[in-house]
């Protein structure tokens, strides 16, 4: 899986709303891919995952209650999260599943059955 | 005979590259405007993870918020010592999948710690902390003597 990070960047210039890229871990096993994206402040309801062709766009809307009072020190960013990935054609897009826990999105992308290595019996 | 014609200021022709240059300048401006803390934070090479911290206060409470995605409540440690609040913990690797090939590993793994000096005295026994959606929110009620009070000035 490749990240279309270049593309992300130019889109940020033109948008009026800023997005931040979440940090991800990606690994591949013989059964499929697992992607973990860190998006603190995002829960299930704030997630928008769209699949278009062979590209998957992950958008996480932060839903954090604004703090009352006066800010003495502020490091968190208000921006929502966005990242786009190009999918390996071996992935069975109908079987993609997502799980959100404590601000971490875990996306499981299984490979199509026919792509997995299998033995062929010879008569 | 020489003809005198009114002098016209030469018009600036629109420069095709102009749009691109202003966006480059905006980028550089942003680089300088962004607080250094933010830049340091995103550079994990320079000594590990410093989770983003917010510190707010109002008349009644001091609020601290830390972004700590993907932790378990029990792995987060919050302690108060001499007016400084420390948030620390360790992010564990999840069990390695069998025969997994890693393409990207941007998430930080390991110990982290952040300490912040509180602006006032707080009532230690009434501190509340909540961990939701990867954000740790701590509410520290101000100690009575630290709350702002009106002092009446009488003039004789």
Residue spans of the domains in chain B: they are 46-93+109-146
Residue A120 has pLDDT above 60, yes or no: yes
**CA A58/CA A83 separation, integer angstroms:** 5
**Cβ neighbours of A107 in B, within 8 Å:** none
Residues of A with CB under 8 A from a CB of B: 1, 3, 13, 23-30, 34, 36, 38-43, 63-64, 67-77, 101-104
Beta pairing partners, B130: B137
Q: Are A116 and B99 in contact (CB under 8 A)?
A: no
Q: What is the pLDDT of residues B14-29, one digit of tens each?
A: 454 554 555 566 666 6
Beta pairing partners, B14: none
By residue range, what is the domain housing residue A9? 2-115
Q: Is residue A38 part of a domain?
A: yes
**What pLDDT band is residue B7 in, cutting at 50, 70 and 90?**
low
Q: What is the pLDDT of residues A67-104, one digit of tens each?
A: 778 889 888 888 999 999 999 998 998 999 999 999 99
**Cβ neighbours of B131 in A, within 8 Å:** 102
Residue for token pair 């995952």? A49
The confidence score (pLDDT) of residue B9 equals 56
**CA B141/CA B120 separation, integer angstroms:** 10
The confidence score (pLDDT) of residue B147 equals 75
Per cent of chain B over pLDDT 70 is 65
Element (H, E) at B122: none
The confidence score (pLDDT) of residue B146 equals 73
Q: Is B126 helix (H, G, I), strand (E, B) or coil?
A: helix
Q: Is B118 helix (H, G, I), strand (E, B) or coil?
A: coil
Q: Which residue has the higher pLDDT, B94 or A97?
A: A97
> What is the number of domains present in chain A?
1
CATH topology classification for B46-93+109-146: Immunoglobulin-like (2.60.40)
Residue for token pair 């499981």? A108
Residue B150 has pLDDT above 90, yes or no: no
The confidence score (pLDDT) of residue B21 equals 54
**CA A24/CA A39 separation, integer angstroms:** 9
Residue for token pair 């109908």? A94
**CA A119/CA A88 separation, integer angstroms:** 22
**CA B27/CA B21 separation, integer angstroms:** 10
Residue B128 has pLDDT above 90, yes or no: yes
What is the model's pTM?
0.70
**CA B79/CA B88 separation, integer angstroms:** 9
Q: Is residue A122 part of a domain?
A: no
Whichever domain contains A82, its CATH number is: 2.60.40.790
Q: Is residue A123 part of a domain?
A: no
CB under 8 Å to A95, separation ≥6 — which residues?
A109, A110
Task: Please tell me which of the candidates B69, B103, B108 has its beta carbon nearest to residue A1.
Answer: B103
Q: Is residue A120 part of a domain?
A: no
The confidence score (pLDDT) of residue B65 equals 94
**CA B41/CA B66 separation, integer angstroms:** 13
**What pLDDT band is residue A118 in, cutting at 50, 70 and 90?**
confident
The pLDDT of A14-28, averaged and rounded, is 80
Task: Please tell me which of the candidates B38, B99, B105 has its beta carbon nearest to residue A25.
Answer: B105
Q: Is the dihedral of CA B34, B35, B41, B45 positive or negative?
A: positive
């Amino acid at each position: 899986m490749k990240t279309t990070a270049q593309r992300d960047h130019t889109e940020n210039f033109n948008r009026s709303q800023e997005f931040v890229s979440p940090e991800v871990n990606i690994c591949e096993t013989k059964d499929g891919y697992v992607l973990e994206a860190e998006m603190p402040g995002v829960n299930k309801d704030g997630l928008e995952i769209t699949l278009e062709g062979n590209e998957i766009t992950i958008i996480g809307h932060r839903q954090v209650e604004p703090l009352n009072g006066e800010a003495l020190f502020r490091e968190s960013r208000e921006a929502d999260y966005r990242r786009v990935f190009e999918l390996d054609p071996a992935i069975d897009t109908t079987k993609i599943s997502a799980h959100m826990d404590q601000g971490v999105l875990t996306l499981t992308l299984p490979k199509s059955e026919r792509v997995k290595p299998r033995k062929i019996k010879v008569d | 005979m020489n003809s005198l014609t009114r002098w016209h200021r030469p018009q600036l022709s629109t420069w095709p590259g102009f749009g691109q240059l202003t966006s480059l300048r905006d980028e550089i401006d942003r680089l300088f405007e962004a607080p250094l803390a933010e830049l340091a934070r995103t550079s994990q090479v320079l000594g590990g993870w410093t989770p983003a911290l917010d510190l707010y206060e109002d008349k009644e409470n001091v609020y601290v918020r830390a972004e700590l995605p993907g932790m378990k409540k029990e792995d987060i440690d919050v302690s108060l010592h001499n007016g400084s609040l420390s948030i620390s913990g360790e992010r564990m690797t999840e069990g390695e999948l069998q025969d997994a090939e890693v393409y990207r590993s941007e998430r930080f793994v390991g110990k982290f710690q952040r300490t912040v000096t509180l602006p006032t005295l707080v009532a230690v026994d009434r501190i509340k902390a909540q961990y939701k959606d990867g954000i740790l929110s701590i509410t520290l009620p101000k100690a009575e003597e630290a709350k702002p009070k009106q002092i009446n000035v009488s003039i004789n």
